[in-house]
Amino acid sequence: MTAITKKMSILLLLTLGLIALFLFIGLPNNWDYALEKRSVKIVAIIVVSCAVATASVIFQTLTSNRILTPSIMGFEAVYFLFQTVIIFIYGDKTFRVINQENNFFLSILCMLLFAFVIFKLLFKKEKNNLYLLLLIGLVLGTLFQTVSSFLQLIIDPNEFLMLQGSLYASFNSINYDLLWYASGTLLLCFGVVFCFTNHLNVMLLGRDQSINLGVNYFKKTQLFLFLIAILVSVSTALVGPITFLGVLVTNLTYELFKTYKHQILIPACCMVSVVSILLAQYVVEEVFQYNSTISIIINFVGGIYFMYLLFKAKKL
């Protein structure tokens, strides 16, 4: 236990240190304005990375698979499609017809509706076939992505540029009000998750063992999938598609903390993802002078790490 506490403290110090650096380094003369801007960005980064980390850890526990992220269920494809469709319909008048706040809430609504429909379809007869759910999510996700690509192909190139802004995750223009809504919702989700961390530990043993130990597996799976849907859709609507981060941060966490306890795994994974987003954001701002996006950096690093995982698994 002591080794874990030690690692946790180091990770906490690293996270807090990076946050402080990010907030205070190179503050200009009119520091209060800059500090406010930076705080909003930092809060958004913390909230979103915790949401992605929590959703990914739970998702991997439910599927007992360590290289999946909730994005396989197709939430982000729904987001892509929704963003494409509104630009396709309204063109350059989009921002007048639908403001940022409405866009945020409608995106969440679309994603939750999608989740609700596929959950409802599959959980009809107390038979929760999780893999069928993933497969359907994957197929529908591909379909939505293809439809989006098709629409993107026929819209005006200038409108496409407008669209591109919302298709990459970005922490550079966060709406202050939306951040509050998102933080509130996500905090509520974290609260529920932390009430049931012990159940998650048992669910790692698989369906039959969970039932044997008195966990209402069917209901708990539904609850957790529902929480994942909220976590993913809120964070996606806030900053854009970001769940690709999941594979990288969860596996780093498992590697660092060799434990099954979600009480440790979830907070640790949250901190790991805050650290990795901050580092990626630093690279975006300082190295690439905003000419690259955080998605590209994390996908690049994550892709390399993913290949490393595959090669390592082959050796075993």
Partner 1 sequence: MISLKNITKTYKNTPVVKNVTLELPKGKIISLVGSNGAGKSTLLGVIARVLNPDDGQIIINERNIEDYKTRLLAQHISILKQSNHLNLKLAVKELVAFGRFPYSQGKLNTTDQEKINEALTFLELDDLKDRYVDELSGGQKQRVFLAMVVAQDTDYILLDEPLNNLDMKHSVQIMKTLQALCKQKGKTIIMVVHDINFASQYSHYIAALKSGEIKYFGKTQDIIEPKKLKDVFDIDFEILEHNNKKICNYFN
Task: Choose between 1 and 161: whose C-beta lies nearer to partner 1.
Answer: 1
Q: State the minimum distance, in angstroms, from the CB of residue 122 to partner 1.
A: 16
Task: Choose between 9 and 216: whose C-beta lies nearer to partner 1.
Answer: 216
Stretch that binds partner 1, among 52-60, 195-203, 267-275, 294-302 (CB under 8 A): 195-203
Beta carbons within 10 angstroms of residue 12's beta carbon: 13
Taken in order 81, 225, 242, 101, is the CA torsion positive or negative? positive
Task: Choose between 157 and 214: whose C-beta lies nearer to partner 1.
Answer: 214
Residue from 12, 109, 213, 287 in contact with partner 1 (CB under 8 A)? 213
Is residue 304 a contact residue for partner 1 (CB under 8 A)?
no
Look-up: residue for tokens 């591109």?
164
Stretch that binds partner 1, among 102-110, 202-210, 241-249, 270-278 (CB under 8 A): 202-210
Stretch that binds partner 1, among 11-19, 75-83, 102-110, 209-217 (CB under 8 A): 209-217
Task: Write out the binding residues for partner 1, residues 222-281 only, by CB under 8 A.
Answer: 258-260
Residue from 9, 64, 149, 173 in contact with partner 1 (CB under 8 A)? 64
What would the DSSP string read from start to end of 164-227? HHHHS--SSS--HHHHHHHHHHHHHHHHHHHHTHHHHHHHTT-HHHHHHTT--HHHHHHHHHHH
Is residue 209 a contact residue for partner 1 (CB under 8 A)?
yes
* Non-local CB neighbours of 62 within 8 Å, separated by 6+ positions: 130, 203, 221, 224, 225
Please say whether the beta carbons of 281 and 294 come within 8 A.
Answer: yes
What would the DSSP string read from start to end of 66-90? TT--GGGGSHHHHHHHHHHHHHHHH
Residue from 215, 231, 245, 271 in contact with partner 1 (CB under 8 A)? 215
Beta carbons within 10 angstroms of residue 291's beta carbon: 7
- What gap in Å lies between CA 246 and CA 116, rounded to an integer? 22
What is the per-residue binding string for partner 1 in 108-147, x denoting contact by CB under 8 A?
A: ------------------x---------------------
Residue from 28, 157, 191, 214 in contact with partner 1 (CB under 8 A)? 214
Residues engaged in binding partner 1 (CB under 8 A) = 64, 126, 197-199, 201-202, 204-205, 207-209, 211-216, 258-260
